[in-house]
Chain A
Amino acid sequence: MWMIRAFLPGVWLLCLLLGLALMAQAQEETGQGQALLESLDSPSYDAKAEAIEAIIVSGDERSRRWLDELLGGKLQRHKDTGRFVIVLENRGRNWPVIDALTLEDAGEMSRRDLDGIGINNALRGQLQSALAMLDLYTDDVDDRRDAARELLGSVDAPMVEPLGEVIANEDDAEVRRLLDQALAIHRLDEGDIDAIAELAGSLNSRVRAALNSATRSDDPLVADAASAALADIEQKLRLNSGLETLYFGLSLGSVLVLAAIGLAITFGVMGVINMAHGELIMLGAYTTWAMQQLLPGQPGLALVLSIPAGFLVAALAGIAIERSVIQFLKGRPLETLLATFGVSLILQQLVRTVISPQNRTVVSPDWMSGSLMINEGLSLTLNRLFVLGFALVVFACLMLVMRRTRLGLEVRAVTQNRAMARSMGIRATRVDIMTFALGSGVAGLAGVALSQLTNVGPNLGQNYIIDSFMVVVFGGVGNLWGTLVAGLSLGVINQVLEPWAGAVLAKIIVLVFIILFIQKRPRGLFPQKGRAAEG
């Protein structure tokens, strides 16, 4: 959704509508296009604004393309020839371009010979609302809705009438509602007190913005009515913010769970303290990056593919660690801690030297960016929603593996009584490898998910290792459910505390809480009871 603050001169708008009408029978003249673009290429932004209007009224069918490219900063001009081109790919030193007039391929041009036609946020706003107006006439309902939503708060006098017509011909109720609100906001700005009645109860942030500014109106009646309406809205919002905090908490929790669940297996079930766990997460994240490098332009597909890939890579790395280090330290968990710490140092520096010390870009596919609108006031960010779901799925799968599969059975057998299990023909070593691979693989999955939330860089792992241990210990070592509950609850606690304690303090409080909790229940939330548990 786009919010506009550009105030379009009325003249221009009339021309715009005129232009829309004319567009059909507009005549193509070669000179005209060049001239239009010439006028765009001027140092002053006002001149540019006029040029944009000119382009729209020209009714030239390339204008839509031009405006889009201008918006994307891809409409550029060759310094020497003065030729206007559209840049297709603007990374690297030489850029592939097409001619802006003929729209035919114009080969490659050196970055340094090209002059971009810069725009600023004001122009960007102007362009967007212009395009929005155009979009109101498209056939796709969703586009029209978005367009209508964009117009909220950016309607001014000359637009009223044409919008009225639009509403009249609009068959989609939602679009009509939005446009009505847009007009109401406009009327409110004009000081029309009745508009408030129409806006009352809407949770839309731009409506609230309008009402807020209305409270500062010099007409006391309007001011009071506005604040009354606002108070009513705030009431509605309170529930929202409660839900929002809960969602924040859960999503943070899901991240913790993802990061910790692998550890819950290697550490909890096998009793192996793997300080390189964080780096396994990192590997998963880098796999996602690599995938996106392999499949340029298809971030979504790459992401999906990197789920198995990430698992595999991390699992293999895990096996390597298990074989090369951990197996020699069987039954010496504290030594394992130290050795794997060494491994983590090596892995980090490896990434730094082999790939780069800089963070890597991981693109979010469209279906993961933006947010899911529950109501006008509450929307859930998609990427976190996906991660939350992903975490639960991973957890469920793990439960299945541990509970239902042969591997799970063998793992439990081996961890409870190695010798016995051996004598029953279970190949303990193999089980160790498998278990460790599983745990590491899950860490890889966490990495894939995290790549959608945070940096993909050499330090990624370090930022999560401690939290992971906290979660596992808090939940009770060796208990997957514990890890889930612990992760989610810690997440929620943190987010509930944050607003009044601040991010740092909230984290500290949570840590202290964990410490004290461990004093009360030395074996975590869900300890294993009975004589076995006696040290």
Chain B
Amino acid sequence: MWLMQPFNEGATRLFLGVLLACLALVTVLHLAVPAGHPLHVSAYTVTLLGKYLSYALLAVAVDLVWGYLGILSLGHGAFFALGGYAMGMYLMRQIGDRGTYGDPILPDFMVFLNWDSLPWYWLGFDMPWFAFLMVILVPGALALVFGFLAFRSRVTGVYLSIITQAMTFALMLAFFRNEMGFGGNNGLTDFRELLGFDLRTDATRLGLFIATGVALAMGYVLCRAIVTSKLGRVSVACRDAEARTRFLGYRVERFQLFVFVVSAMLAGVAGALYVPQVGIINPSEFSPILSIEIVLWVALGGRGTLYGAVIGALLVNYAKTVFTGVMPDAWLFALGGMFVLVTVFLPRGVAGLLGYLQGLRFQGQRFNRDRNETQSRDISKEASA
């Protein structure tokens, strides 16, 4: 069975091992070690880690399309946010009559914007199974439509990146509008419970953290299974020599679409796990800047390796947390500097570095080469365009 494929790889087993070990470790340190003890992991840290993990999953999704399909999506934040909104809508419905205005059905923001009834697209979100389904379907559907249009007319390279950016930008503006019925700028917040668990208890936080970890593991395995399958090799083929692949009889646009949709769904799941942990979802999640940042995590971690994406997401976000605390006035310098230095001096990202250190050169070299390959193609496209 192709899904089992990855478990035969040492690298994947190692990755999963480390991940699960960390999950277990954190759990233990949080529960067993008494508060105040230097080794104790506070609920705050757990939630923080949970957030990082959801970002990591998002990064994996991006790496799948960028690293293996050569499609630089600057709009993946949109899928992430849509998944988040789907989850947020469910959580809003769970508040029930405990809202400020005590309206059993309508969320607070609707009450004071005089909505008399729930708009149709809010229906069903009180049922968890439906909401969770939407978490996957909504981003998937958007990716399907968008991707279908884009790939069938062979929009490639920079053009694709720019219109993905346009997509997420348009969505951001749309969700900012209060008429849309998604709470406008304030977004959705003040969540109470998820599947009956009170979101404000540490137990739930730990649960969410673990759930996110597991989701990341599964997402990773899924992506790994895809890239190690023949389909993965076809993707790489599309990335490196699209025309050639066509002449071999593959319908390139279909493969691109398939991988793109899968990736979008993963992003959606990441968003859904992100929202209950940070406690708010708001249109700024759609901001193109965020989407660019995601790509940067991947670049920094090392494109086209999946685990690199995870490393990148964790590194950058940890750095962000630290810097914003330690050097509030200057952290942007650090972050920006980091991006510049890595892209210039560490073209293969941290993963490349690791690969090099561990002497796993093959992966690295092959990757480095086809990177230049793709790039030279990109450039030729622009030049010709």
Q: Given A275-B292, A335-B343, A477-B382 in contact, is the A514-B154 Cβ separation under 8 Å?
A: no
Chain B residue contacts of A416, Cβ below 8 A: 383
Q: Check B336 against A512 for contact (C-beta < 8 Å).
A: no
Contact A331 B379 (CB under 8 A): yes
Q: Which residues from B are CB-within-8-Å of A14? A: none
* Beta-carbon contact of B170 and A342 below 8 Å: no
Within 8 Å by CB of B384, from A345, A466, A505, A535, lies A535
Contacts of A469 in B (CB 8 A): 162, 165
Cβ distance B294 to chain A, nearest Cβ, rounded Å: 11
Chain A residue numbers with a CB within 8 Å of B157 are 333
**For window 353-383 of chain B, which residues contact chain A by CB distance below 8 Å?**
371-372, 375-383
A118 to chain B, nearest CB (A): 37
Contacts of A18 in B (CB 8 A): none
Within 8 A of B (CB), among A462-507: 462, 466, 469-470, 473, 476-478, 504-505, 507
A518 within 8 A of B: yes
Max count, chain B CB within 10 A of own CB: residue among A466, A505, A514, A523: A466
Are A522 and B344 in contact (CB-based, < 8 A)? no
Given A344-B336, A345-B336, A515-B163; A338-B242 close (CB under 8 Å) = no
Bound: A476/B384 CA distance, A: 11
Least Cβ distance of A474 to chain B in Å? 9
A273 touches B158 (CB 8 A): yes
Min CB distance A460 to B, Å, is 15
Q: How far is the CA of A7 from the CA of B158 in the complex (A)?
A: 64
Complex CA distance for A523 and B158, rounded to whole angstroms: 10
Cβ of B217 to closest chain A Cβ, rounded Å:
28
A527 within 8 A of B: yes
A334 adjacent to B72 (CB under 8 Å) = yes
Given contacts A341-B292, A462-B289, A504-B176, contact A334 B375 (CB under 8 A): yes
Size of the B side of the interface (Cβ < 8 Å), in residues, is 58
**Cβ–Cβ contact A346 & B156, under 8 A:** no
Q: Which of B24-32, B111-119, B207-215, B326-334 contacts A (4 or more CB under 8 A)?
A: B326-334
Query: In the docked arrangement, what's the CA distance between A341 and B344, Å?
Result: 13
Which residues of the other chain, A, contact B295 by a CB distance below 8 angstroms?
Answer: 338
CB neighbours (8 Å) of A380 from chain B are: none
List of B residues within 8 angstroms of A346 by Cβ:
332-333, 336-337, 340
Within 8 A of A (CB), among B174-218: 174, 176-177
B158 touches A328 (CB 8 A): no
Interface string of A434-478 (1 = CB under 8 A from B): 000000000000000000000000000010001001100100111
Query: Is A1 in contact with chain B by the CB < 8 A criterion?
Result: no
- Is A532 in contact with chain B by the CB < 8 A criterion? yes
Residues of A within 8 A of B153 (CB): 518-520, 522
Interface residue tally on A, bucketed by range: 35 or more
Query: How far, in whole Å, are A267 and B155 apart by their CA atoms in the complex?
Result: 17
- A343 within 8 A of partner (CB): yes
Given known contacts A477-B158, A515-B167, A338 and B299 CB-to-CB distance under 8 angstroms = yes
Please, which residue of chain A has its CB at the minimum distance from the CB of B151? A519
Q: Is A271 an interface residue (CB 8 A)?
A: yes
Cα-based distance from A344 to B292 in the complex (angstroms): 12
Q: Which of B170, B343, B347 contacts A508 (CB 8 A)?
A: B170
For chain A residues 250-290, which have a beta carbon within 8 Å of chain B?
267, 271, 273, 275
Complex-state Cα separation, A445 to B295, whole angstroms: 31
Given contacts A514-B163, A522-B159, contact A339 B169 (CB under 8 A): no
- A328 touching B344 by the CB < 8 A rule? yes
A507 to B162, CA, bound (A): 16
> Does A348 have its Cβ within 8 Å of any Cβ on chain B?
yes
**Closest A residue by C-beta to B177:** A504
In angstroms, Cα B157 to Cα A534, docked, is 13
Pairwise interchain contact B170-A511, C-beta atoms closer than 8 A: yes
Closest to B153 in A: A519
Collect the chain A residues with CB atoms within 8 Å of residue B174's CB: 504, 508
A535–B377 CB distance below 8 A: yes
Contacts of A528 in B (CB 8 A): 384-385
Minimal Cβ-Cβ distance residue in A for B154? A522
User: Nearest chain-B residue to A272 (Cβ)?
Assistant: B382
Q: In this assembly, does A325 line the interface, its C-beta being within 8 Å of a C-beta of chain B?
A: yes
Q: Does B99 contact A (CB under 8 A)?
A: no
Q: 17 interchain pairs (CB within 8 A)?
A: A325-B344, A332-B375, A334-B378, A335-B375, A337-B72, A338-B295, A341-B292, A342-B337, A345-B332, A473-B159, A477-B158, A515-B170, A519-B149, A519-B150, A519-B153, A522-B156, A535-B154
Counting from the closest, the 7 A-B pairs by CB-CB distance are A342-B339, A345-B336, A271-B382, A349-B332, A346-B336, A511-B170, A339-B343
20 additional A-B residue pairs with CB within 8 Å, beyond A271-B383, A331-B375, A519-B152: A267-B158, A273-B158, A332-B347, A333-B375, A334-B378, A339-B344, A343-B340, A348-B332, A349-B330, A349-B332, A504-B173, A504-B177, A508-B173, A511-B166, A515-B166, A516-B149, A519-B149, A519-B153, A522-B154, A535-B154
